Amino acid sequence: MVLNPVISKLAGKLVVLASASPRRLEILSNAGLRFEVVPSWFKETLDKGLFKAPQEYAVETAKQKALEVARRMPFKHLKTPDMVIGADTIVTVDGMILEKPADKDDAYRMLSSLNGKEHSVVTGVAIVLCHEKDNEEVDYQSIEFYEETKVKFADLSDNMLWEYINSGEPMDKAGGYGIQALGGMLVEYVHGDFLNVVGFPLNHFCKQLDRIYNRCASSSDVESTSLWPSHASSVLTPAPGNLSDCDNAALPPTTSRGRGAERNATKQDAIEPKKEDLQQIVDLIDGFKASKALFTASEMCVFDLLHSRPGLDAAQVALQIKASVKGTECLLEACVSLGLLRSKERTRQKPVFENTSLAAAFLLTDAPHSLRAYIRYCNEAVMPLFSHLESAVSEGSSQREKLFGKTSKDTSSNSQEVKLRFLDAMHSIAKVTALAVATAFDLSGFKSACDLGGCTGAVAYEFTKAHPGMSVTVFDLPAVVEMSDRFHPLHADNRVSFLAGDFFKDELPKADLYVLSRILHDWSDEKVHILLSKVADVCTPGCGLLLSEIFLDEDRGGPRCCLLHALSMSEGRQRSAAEYAVLLERHGFATAHIAHTDSILGAMLCIKA
């Protein structure tokens, strides 16, 4: 893969795509690129008559898009990007430039001009590199190129053209068609880069990055590494593929051994495995033990005890938690190894224990970001599921009904105590993640929001704190709403209200913005489409949908928590940001922004077209 040699050069850099196109988002994400989406505000009003060739027009438009975002971000987003990617795709035929149609008649005019003819699809691309100088000014360097692909339309009847136009697909696509979807039926052949016709010339883009960053290029071809500031977040994940010898020089030694090297390993290698490799496997084997040690210490209130009385020895802790001295000593030492406790030697025979900052932040009952309720839920409800993982994988179904006698969605038949424990768990994890989601985007343009499945209102209260002009309605099941007042803050914001209902069956409240926080991953594709259809139906153009989930990496290799959760075999499934963008586009929502927050959740803001 051409991107592999530049991974080490881009590590720690902020890459931005200056386009809201789901097609470009998907193409770049599938290549392994990690980036933020900040659509350009540049008005595509360049005078086409000033350009000698259509390619020049596309390149200049791409450049202006990228430069607008690069110059705006330090002021609007309080951070300077390291790289901004701009792109503009046009269709040319008989010397005319065709962009997106204004209406159905315009789409018919475009498609008629292409009918039975060969035309060119040109994508101009600009890679703008930003360098912050000591005086807080920013230098911009632009690398520009274009890709041209020849496409031939079949001879099509007017009825077929209008059938395609009435599908709605042509309206947001250059030349009035999308080759990757229904528009493929119009095309007789393609000569050149197919992805270029979809919207982005990935192969040419990769070659340009290789030319800029490959360590084995001549000094005249290589960008100075001092061009890059070091403050931004990581933006690349390794993509699969073969590495050349030159590529290996740019990567850590542990990644340079390919499969051939592994096949040719010596007998000595087989007899004496590397310590770090063996440790990684042992840590995975013992992972359930670490979880259970945390669960047990939390259930026995060890962290609360050592918060109120730090410096107790094992015998003193055992007395307070009513456990054996031997068992308590083993538990405390295990928690030390996990980084949850630290021990100090008061005497050689009796070390004493106290909480680490990690335990103080997340494991105390009354800590602002306490996860103790979520830990209890995992111990009581999730751990048993994973003890039956072989059956779950064999059957491809959740074991919850076998274990607990009811489905995970059957809240009505649960006891009051079980309901409270579940809500307490959801409330604790929401409190930890809600602030990052609420502040991921500027939502000042939205005055009312509806948090679908908003549970205890933890997310809603963070939204009203972050956006003073916004009111939020929490819409959830009657059994949830009737118990939500137990979780309201002491001085509850009256801009947060609760409404009981079933978002699959009942009419949704009217709002400018709909929030789906950790909802879609839990439901089947059929139910996801039902819910999104209901949201789309109630939305008017300009309404927003804010989606918050743990996004899978585009190579589906992580994050680990997301993939391990999927093993519970719930009816839902995990998705990447690109997959969510495509899913939402099917329901008329265009992706405006994607944010990889400082929390475990990512966020995506979409606008109803």
In whole angstroms, what separates CA 35 from the centre of its chain? 10
Listed by start position, the domains of the chain span 4-227, 285-366, 437-608
- Residue 266 has a pLDDT of 42
- Residue 255 has a pLDDT of 32
Name the 3-class secondary structure at 337: helix
pLDDT of 148 above 70: yes
- Residue 219 has a pLDDT of 40
Kindly list the catalytic residues: 88
Average pLDDT, stretch 380-406?
78
d(CA 403, CA 421): 17
Per residue in 465-505, pLDDT tens?
999 999 999 999 999 999 888 888 877 778 999 999 999 99
- Residue 493 has a pLDDT of 79
Polymer length in residues for the chain: 609
Token digits for 205?
């883009």
Kindly report the average pLDDT of the chain as a whole number: 82
pLDDT of 140 above 80: yes
Query: Do 4-227 and 285-366 agree at the fold level?
Result: no
In whole angstroms, what separates CA 352 from the centre of its chain? 43
- Residue written as tokens 């300009």? 542
- Residue 245 has a pLDDT of 33
| Higher per-residue confidence, 298 vs 259 | 298
pLDDT of 407 above 80: no
Token digits for 405?
């006698």
Domain 437-608: CATH architecture, name and number where available: 3-Layer(aba) Sandwich (3.40)
- Residue 135 has a pLDDT of 66
- Residue 142 has a pLDDT of 92
pLDDT of 380 above 60: yes
Per residue in 336-363, pLDDT tens?
999 999 988 765 568 899 999 999 999 9
- Residue 8 has a pLDDT of 55
Q: How confident is the model at residue 268 (pLDDT cuts 50, 70, 90)?
A: very low
Domain 4-227: CATH architecture, name and number where available: Alpha-Beta Complex (3.90)
Maximum alpha-carbon separation in the chain: 92
- Residue 184 has a pLDDT of 83
d(CA 368, CA 18): 38
Q: How confident is the model at residue 213 (pLDDT cuts 50, 70, 90)?
A: confident
Q: How confident is the model at residue 179 (pLDDT cuts 50, 70, 90)?
A: confident
Name the 3-class secondary structure at 245: helix
Q: How confident is the model at residue 4 (pLDDT cuts 50, 70, 90)?
A: low
Give the ranges where 405-506 is alpha helix by DSSP (H): 416-438, 458-466, 478-481
Average pLDDT, stretch 211-221?
54
pLDDT of 306 above 60: yes
The pLDDT > 90 percentage for the chain reads: 42
Per residue in 513-567, pLDDT tens?
999 999 999 898 999 999 999 999 999 999 999 999 999 887 777 778 878 877 7
Rank 111-125, 202-216, 240-254 by mean pLDDT and report only the highest: 111-125
pTM of the model: 0.58
- Residue 587 has a pLDDT of 93
Name the 3-class secondary structure at 548: strand
For domain 285-366, say whether CATH 1.10.10.10 is its number. yes
Token digits for 269?
């290698």
DSSP string, 16-85: EE----HHHHHHHHHTTB--EE----------GGG-SSHHHHHHHHHHHHHHHHHHHHHHHTSS--SEEE
Token digits for 558?
């992580």
Per residue in 154-175, pLDDT tens?
888 888 889 888 888 888 788 8
